[in-house]
């Protein structure tokens, strides 16, 4: 059975001028695209199947990512249904020289596992076997419940 920590993925994108808006910061559409890609990869790693985006919950843009910095996108699976996979998505601005990070964006997404005919397929149960996995799952559930109650 797949473990939460097996689904924890990070990807970095160097923010270039072609990713920026007129203010010299990353265009929100690029951030959303990167989040969806990394979230889908975490879901596929978990399900062992192709996964498609079913829903992206409220996205909170907390601060910009300027050109020249790195967008660090983090995703992991924290809950599952019959064919659905819930992933927590967070983006940090990261200084490529120092590694200093600051949270910029977060959301939760739902992906659905599909077969070759694009029909939903069942996913295995999620296991959490480490303290770090338990901490990440608790954070995701707490944040997801806050969003549902807002």
Q: What is the pLDDT of residues 69-85, one digit of tens each?
A: 999 999 999 999 999 99
**Run of H or E including 85:** strand 84-94
Cα–Cα distance measured from residue 142 to residue 52, given in angstroms and rounded to the nearest whole number: 24
Sign of the four-CA dihedral 105, 4, 137, 40: positive
The CATH number for 10's domain is: 3.10.129.10
Quick: pLDDT tens for 30-44: 999 999 999 999 999
pTM for the structure as a whole: 0.92
Structure tokens at 83: 């064919």
The domain total for the chain is 1
Is it the case that residue 103 has pLDDT exceeding 90?
A: yes
Residues whose CB is less than 8 angstroms from the CB of residue 48 and which lie 6 or more positions away in sequence, other chains included = 2, 124
Range of the domain at 87: 4-149
Residue 117 pLDDT:
97
Residue 148 has pLDDT above 80, yes or no: no
């Amino acid at each position: 059975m797949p473990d939460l920590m097996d689904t924890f993925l990070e990807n970095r994108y160097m923010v270039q001028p072609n990713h920026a808006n007129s203010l010299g910061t990353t265009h929100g559409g690029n951030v959303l695209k990167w989040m969806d890609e990394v979230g889908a990869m975490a879901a596929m790693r978990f399900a062992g199947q192709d996964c498609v985006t079913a829903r992206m919950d409220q996205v909170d843009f907390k601060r910009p990512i300027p050109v020249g910095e790195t967008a660090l996108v983090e995703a992991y699976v924290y809950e599952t249904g019959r064919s659905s996979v819930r992933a927590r998505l967070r983006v940090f601005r990261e200084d490529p020289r120092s590694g200093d990070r600051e949270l910029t964006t977060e959301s939760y997404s739902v992906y659905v596992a599909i077969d070759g005919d694009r029909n939903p397929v069942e996913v295995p149960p999620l296991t959490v076997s480490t303290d770090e996995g338990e901490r990440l799952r608790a954070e995701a559930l707490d944040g997801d419940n806050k969003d549902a109650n807002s």
